Amino acid sequence: MSADVSASTGRDAPAAFGSDLPAWPQVDFSEFGEVEARALSRVQTLTARYMSRNWLMIPHVTHHDDADITALEQQRKARNAAGEPVKLTLLPYLIKAVVEALKAFPQFNASLDGSGKQLVLKKYFHIGVAVDTRFGLLVPVIRDCDRKSVAQLAQELQAITSKARDKGLGMAEMSGGCFTISSLGAFGGTGFTPIVNAPEVAILGVTRSQEKPRRGADDQVEWRQVLPLSLSYDHRVINGADAARFTARLAQLLAEVAPLEQAPTLPTPTPVTEQQ
């Protein structure tokens, strides 16, 4: 059969993406017992559509690792005890660590264009943070995280998450993200497989830290505070070795703490020349 005939009949052409899936089962559940029908919110409906698209169209892989945050937690608690204006949680430290890791591995701070043949590398660092609200899952984007301190990020996070939970967010406040963090630390768990938030190429999931025994340099067993990391990524852009290097660098940054506490380096302003 010629290519022209094949194209006209469609007999040998691949089916449109997802068009050959079986129909969703239609079941009258009331036949089996008492039920209650509850409509999904607008946010839940939109989230379901986007998540389905992302899961179907992105070849997901999830890499798991651990980070020793013993020193970080000591530093964080000490700062809070000293009277920080806004209580510091682990999240602003995670954002700072992610930004530094993105600088080291720029393919994570990227997006595939519509053709799927070109990778757009971003020079800015806008981080999305998944927030559980009464409206459904919202992801506000914190902009220019490389230019903000841990304390500044904490203040902005508190403001935007409060707004998300009380009033909801506009699309502008959830657009332009480079990378997303989904934290379930408040609820527990030991790891999960977050879905990449297209058009981003990776997402970091974290669960509750736990005390675990580790062998120290003097061969003595020490109890350390360990944070589980779950990095899901788009395998079209990132391979397993990339993911392992990224999470290893992330764990190193969280363990060292000091690089996260440093004041952000701002670009040097361009001198203004007076007009003659």
Q: Identify the CATH number of the domain in which residue 142 sits.
A: 3.30.559.10
Prediction pTM value = 0.86
Phi, psi for residue 128 in degrees, rounded to 5: -90, 145
Task: Give domain status of residue 38, yes or no.
Answer: no
Beta pairing class for 141-142 and 221-234: unpaired
CA 235 – CA 59 distance, rounded (Å): 6
User: What does the pLDDT read at residue 218?
Assistant: 82
Residue 88: inside a domain: yes
DSSP 174: G
Is 25 buried (19+), middle (13-18) or exposed (0-12) by CB count in 10 A? exposed
Catalytic residue among 63, 64, 126, 235: 235
> What pLDDT, on the 0 to 100 scale, is given for residue 9?
41
60 is catalytic: no
Give how many domains the chain has, as a whole number: 1
C-alpha 114/C-alpha 118 separation (Å) is 8
Q: What is the C-alpha to C-alpha distance for residues 162 and 164, in angstroms, rounded to an integer?
A: 5
- Contact between 87 and 154 under an 8 Å Cβ cutoff? The reply is yes
What's the domain range around 123? Answer: 62-260
pLDDT value of residue 188: 87
Percent helix / strand / coil, the chain, rounded to 5: 35, 20, 45
Is residue 127 in some structural domain? yes
210 domain-assigned: yes
Tokens of 66: 């651990």
Closest to 93 (Cα-Cα) out of 250, 269, 276, 272:
250
16 lies in some domain: no
Residues 6+ apart with CB under 8 A from 88: 76, 79, 80, 150, 151, 154
Q: Does residue 41 lie within any of the structural domains?
A: no
DSSP state of 82: T
Report the first-to-last Cα separation within the chain, whole angstroms.
76
The conformation of residue 11, written as its DSSP 8-state character, comes to S
Residue 199 phi, psi dihedral angles, 5° rounding:
-90, 20
Query: If we measure between CA atoms, which residue out of 67, 45, 52 comes closest to residue 17?
Result: 52
| Within a domain: 74 | yes
From first to last of its 276 residues, what are the pLDDT tens digits of the chain? 334 433 334 444 445 566 678 888 999 999 999 999 999 999 999 999 999 999 999 999 999 999 999 999 999 999 999 999 999 999 999 999 999 999 999 999 999 998 888 999 999 999 999 999 998 999 999 999 999 999 999 999 999 999 999 999 999 999 999 999 999 988 889 999 999 999 999 999 999 999 999 888 788 899 999 999 999 999 999 999 999 999 999 999 999 987 787 767 555 444 444 443
> Which residue type does 227 have?
L
Q: Is the distance from CB of 153 to CB of 118 less than 8 angstroms?
A: no
Hey, what amino acid is at 199?
P
Examine residue 142 and state whether it is found in any structural domain, yes or no. yes
